[in-house]
Chain A
Amino acid sequence: MAQEFWRWKEYNWRDPEESWNKAKMLTAGVDVGSVSTQAAVMADGQLCAFASMRTGSDSPDSARKAMDWALRETGLTLDRIRYVIGTGYGRVNVPFAHRTITEIACHARGANFMYGPNVRTVLDMGGQDCKAIRCDEKGKVSAFLMNDKCAAGTGRGMEVFADLLSVPLEQIGDLSYEVDQEPQPVSSTCVVFAKTEAVGLLRKGWPKNNVLAAYCSAMAHRVYTLLERLGVEGDFGITGGIAKNSGVVKRLEKELNLKALTPRYDPQIAGAVGAALFAHTLAQKEATA
């Protein structure tokens, strides 16, 4: 089978200190997105394990697999988790969740954890949507704008380009800076038309890296307009898969004239982390009620 360039690395992580052994309470969040699914486990409100993988065609199955993978090698079983919250596009498909919370709320809360209480604007660049969120020092949402209608400015658009140019998704960011001069951004908004435009550029003799640069800056500009409409207030943090693509992030920072914060963990798991934190709060409330 041909190499699938859009395919990013699925992996799991656990705290080397094995903090779950001493924890009074374990909670979890599962973020079933349209493209990826993450499960995060919290030991007394601190991250102790997570897994990130691709969403399959069966959402309940994807939720279960991500949870199992996060717990693997910790010696924990699902019944040890006091409270589970489902979030994301497929949040109703988390069979073992106690309740669901929207991904907007979870991303803001997760960003608050990853970036600290000073974060006021969160940009979540997901697989099939993009959200600009404003929040307070507790990670509570005060306003948001979202695009979930159009692939431009989403991870899916970047996957299409990875495939078109045969460049692994993780390398796009670095390669997009290996150019003599920053090219004009791709002018088409629509991903389908941008693809045609890119093929034209390649035929004209543009090196691959220049096309990548042109697409990254088009995407940066696309999400910039969303942020501008919402109004940006510092500090600023990015979550979701594209947060790991320096090709988009650095160009966006330049356009915004504002640096994005550095996350404590993989920014793609912010939604699941937020859900797990809500689970922690709710479980505590239940315990004292």
Chain B
Amino acid sequence: MITAGIDMGAKTTKAVILRDGNVIARALTFTGFDQKEAAEKALADALAQAALNRSDVARTFATGVGRQQASFANGSMTEMAADTKGSLLLNNKLRTVIDVGAEEGRAMKCTAEGKVTDFAVNEKCAAGAGSFVEAMSRALELPLEKMGEMSLRSKNAVAMNAQCTVFAESEVVSLVHAKTPKEDIVRALHDAIANRIVSMARRVGVEESVGLVGGVGYNIGFVDALRRCLEVESVWVPEQPEYVGAIGAAVAAAEAA
């Protein structure tokens, strides 16, 4: 059976095609202004990749903050349920799933069957989301993809006082002026956001194994900070972690049969 999942995030919209439990195509587009158009485009791109037509897809489920806009979908689900379903398809040992997206951070606790038993969300404050890292990359004039590797080279822990993204921007500029090595600043930033995420995750209770999904999963410096802050052996990150929500939606579409 072929199903599709669409995750309509604040910044990007993702689509995946699932055939009998295997992801056979994935596509991503910027959400932009017209969410429905973005969803159509992501789905069309993924279908083109798999050399399939719309009619080959048995069912399509949507998730993400803009899921109501995907009116062509056959069903929708919360991001929490989709993240957990997607993660467990890829790694069934997970009991805690953390999703750090562009404008939201989430922590979910789940059973072996992929049922969400508790969750916590931050969607009010950029300090616990990908926007924070993006803003800091701008303030440091450092490409986003370099930040992870750079922070791993840090030898010194420097303290960040600001929690707010806007205030942290000025603090980073002051640290640069004070000639603080950039790798130490980047590590401090990763520690700061990891602290925010972990204090949220502790509210639901952290049980191993722990997985991290969402675009910020690409940042190896943040993954390391998260692991240290959670005091766990390792944090599992899938390949292309931003697609996990869409995968979960496609799984749910398959299960709905």
Instruction: State the A residues within 8 Å of B (CB).
Output: 34, 57, 128, 149-151, 156-157, 160, 188-193, 196, 200, 203-204
Q: A190-B125, A193-B103, A203-B33 are in contact. Are A160 and B131 (CB under 8 A)?
A: no
* B126 near A190: Cβ-Cβ < 8 Å: yes
Q: Is the CB of A190 within 8 A of B167?
A: no
- Answer whether A57 and B166 are a contact pair too, CB < 8 Å, given A192-B131, A193-B131, A196-B103: no
- Establish whether residues B166 and A192, one from each chain, have CB atoms under 8 Å apart when the complex forms: yes
The reply to whether A157 and B166 form a contact with Cβ atoms under 8 Å apart is yes
Nearest chain B CB to A219 CB, angstrom units: 13
Bound CA span A226–B131, Å: 26
Contact B103 A150 (CB under 8 A): no
B60 at the interface (CB under 8 A from A): no
The secondary-structure label for the interface of chain B is helix
Write the nearest CB–CB distance from B169 to chain A, whole angstroms: 9
Nearest-neighbour CB distance to chain B for A185, whole angstroms, equals 15
Interface residues on B, range: 10 to 19
Asked whether B164 lies within 8 Å of A150 as measured between CB atoms, the reply is yes
Measured CA separation A191–B127 after assembly (Å): 11
Given the complex, which residues of B lie within 8 Å of A157, measured CB to CB? Answer: 166
Inter-chain contacts of B63 with A (CB < 8 A): none
A interface footprint on B102-120 (CB within 8 Å = 1, 0 otherwise): 0100000000000000000
Most buried by A among B124, B135, B163, B174: B124
Q: Within 8 Å of chain A (Cβ to Cβ): is B13?
A: no
In the bound complex, residues from chain A placing their C-beta under 8 Å from that of B127 are: 190
Contacts of A57 in B (CB 8 A): 174, 177
Indicate if B151 sits at the interface (CB-CB under 8 A). no
Contact B165 A192 (CB under 8 A): yes
Binding site for A on B (CB under 8 A): 10, 33, 103, 124-127, 131-132, 135, 163-167, 170, 174, 177
Query: Within the complex, what minimum Cβ distance (angstroms) separates A170 from chain B?
Result: 21
Residues of B within 8 A of A193 (CB): 103, 124, 126, 131
Residues of B within 8 A of A149 (CB): 163-164
Q: Do the beta carbons of A200 and B33 come within 8 Å of each other?
A: yes
Q: How far is the CB of A247 from chain B (nearest CB, A)?
A: 19
6 new A-B contacts, CB < 8 A, other than A34-B170, A151-B167, are A150-B125, A151-B166, A156-B166, A190-B127, A191-B126, A191-B166
Interface centre among B33, B131, B166 (most CB of A within 10 A): B166
Which residues of chain B are within 8 angstroms of A128 by Cβ–Cβ distance?
167
Give B123's nearest chain A residue, CB to CB: A193
Is B33 a contact of A190 with CB atoms below 8 Å? Answer: no
| Contact residues in A for B33 (Cβ distance below 8 Å) | 200, 203-204
Q: Are B126 and A192 in contact (CB under 8 A)?
A: yes
- State the Cβ distance, A280 to closest chain B Cβ, in Å: 33
Q: Check A189 against B125 for contact (C-beta < 8 Å).
A: yes
Within 8 Å CB of A34, what residues of B? 170
* Bound Cα distance A196, B166 (Å): 14
Q: What is the distance, in angstroms, from B195's C-beta to the closest C-beta of chain A?
A: 14
A11 vs B5: C-alpha distance when bound (angstroms): 59
Known: A149-B164, A200-B33. A190 touches B174 (CB 8 A): no
Contacts of B126 in A (CB 8 A): 190-193
Residue of A nearest to B125 (CB): A190
Q: How far is the CB of A204 from chain B (nearest CB, A)?
A: 8
**A270 CB to closest chain B CB, in angstroms?**
22
Asked, given contacts A57-B174, A150-B125, A203-B33, whether A192 binds B167 with beta carbons under 8 Å apart, the answer is: no
- A191 to B166: give the CA distance in the assembly, Å: 7
How far in angstroms is the closest Cβ of chain B from A157?
7
Could you say which residues of chain A place their CB within 8 Å of the CB of B124?
A: 188-190, 193
Closest Cβ of chain B: how far from A2's Cβ, in Å? 16
* Least distance between B154 CB and chain A CB atoms (Å): 23
